[in-house]
C-alpha cells in the first residue's frame, strides 16, 4: 500500500509518500512541501496548493490519501485556512477516486511515538527512525505529512479491540492510538 500524507497549511502544506513493507515497516518514497504566496489572494493560494497536490497524486499514484483532521486553534484564520487546504486535498483525491482517511494530530502522534501528546521533535525523531532516515525530516510540515502516512499504514483494523484483534495483540503505540481515536470521537459537551 502507498499512502500520501497531507499536513494541510495555506503557506506550507506538508506532503509525504510512504510505502508499506512487510513486518510493519515503511519506506520513504517522497517528501516535500506545497507552497503558496501569502501576498496572493486566497483563491489563487488554494489553486496553487491544489495544483501541487495534483502533481504529487499523478507522480506517486497513492492508494489512499491521509489528511490531518484539525480540531481547533487559538487563531480562527489558521483553522479556516487549514480546513480549506484539507478540503482541496480531499477534492484532488476524490477526482481520482482515491480514498481519503482523516486522522487527528493526537492519533498520529500516538501511532508514531506511542504518546498522543508528543512534541514536534519527538515526532520528527520517530519518523526518521521508522523510515531509516539519516536526518530528521524538515520542515516540521513535511515530517507531519510522513507521520500521517505512517499512522495510516499502521492503523489497527477497527482501531479498538474486536474479537479478531484483542487489545493484548496491539502494540503500546497501537493501544495509545486507539485510545486517542476513541477520545476524539466522543461528543463534546458545551
- CA 100-105-110 angle, to 5 degrees, is 105
Give the CA radius of gyration of the chain. Answer: 16
Binding-site residues for Mg(2+) sit at 7, 68, 141
pLDDT score of 177: 54
pLDDT score of 73: 60
> Do 101 and 151 contact (CB within 8 A), yes or no?
no
Residue ranges, the chain, pLDDT below 50: 157-170, 188-190
Binding-site residues sit at 7, 68, 141
50 Cβ partners below 8 Å, 6+ apart? Answer: 88, 91, 92
Q: Kindly report the pTM of this predicted structure.
A: 0.81
CATH architecture of 2-185: 2-Layer Sandwich (3.30)
| Cell 520528527 belongs to residue | 124
pLDDT digits (tens, 9 = 90+) for 9-32: 999 999 999 999 998 899 999 999
pLDDT score of 79: 85
pLDDT score of 78: 77
The Cβ of residue 169 has, within 10 Å, a number of other Cβ atoms equal to 10
Q: What does the domain layout of the chain look like in residue ranges?
A: 2-185
Residues recognised as catalytic = 7, 68, 141
pLDDT score of 126: 96
- CA-based max dimension of the chain: 54
Amino acid at each position: 500500500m502507498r499512502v500520501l500524507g497531507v499536513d494541510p497549511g495555506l503557506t506550507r502544506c506538508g506532503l509525504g509518500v510512504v510505502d508499506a513493507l512487510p513486518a510493519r515497516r515503511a519506506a520513504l518514497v517522497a517528501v516535500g512541501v506545497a507552497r503558496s504566496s501569502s501576498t496572493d489572494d486566497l483563491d489563487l493560494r488554494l489553486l496553487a496548493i491544489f495544483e501541487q497536490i495534483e502533481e504529487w497524486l499523478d507522480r506517486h499514484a497513492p492508494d489512499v490519501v491521509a489528511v490531518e483532521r484539525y480540531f481547533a486553534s487559538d487563531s480562527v484564520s489558521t483553522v479556516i485556512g487549514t480546513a480549506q487546504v484539507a478540503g482541496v486535498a480531499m477534492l484532488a483525491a476524490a477526482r481520482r477516486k482515491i480514498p481519503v482517511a482523516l486522522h487527528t494530530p493526537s492519533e498520529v502522534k500516538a501511532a508514531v511515538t506511542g504518546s498522543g501528546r508528543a512534541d514536534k521533535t519527538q515526532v520528527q525523531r520517530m519518523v526518521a527512525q521508522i523510515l531509516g532516515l539519516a536526518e530528521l525530516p524538515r520542515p516540521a510540515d513535511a515530517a507531519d505529512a510522513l507521520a500521517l502516512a505512517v499512522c495510516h499504514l499502521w492503523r489497527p483494523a477497527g482501531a479498538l479491540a474486536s474479537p479478531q484483534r484483542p487489545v493484548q495483540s496491539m502494540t503500546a503505540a497501537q493501544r495509545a492510538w486507539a485510545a486517542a481515536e476513541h477520545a476524539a470521537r466522543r461528543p463534546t459537551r458545551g
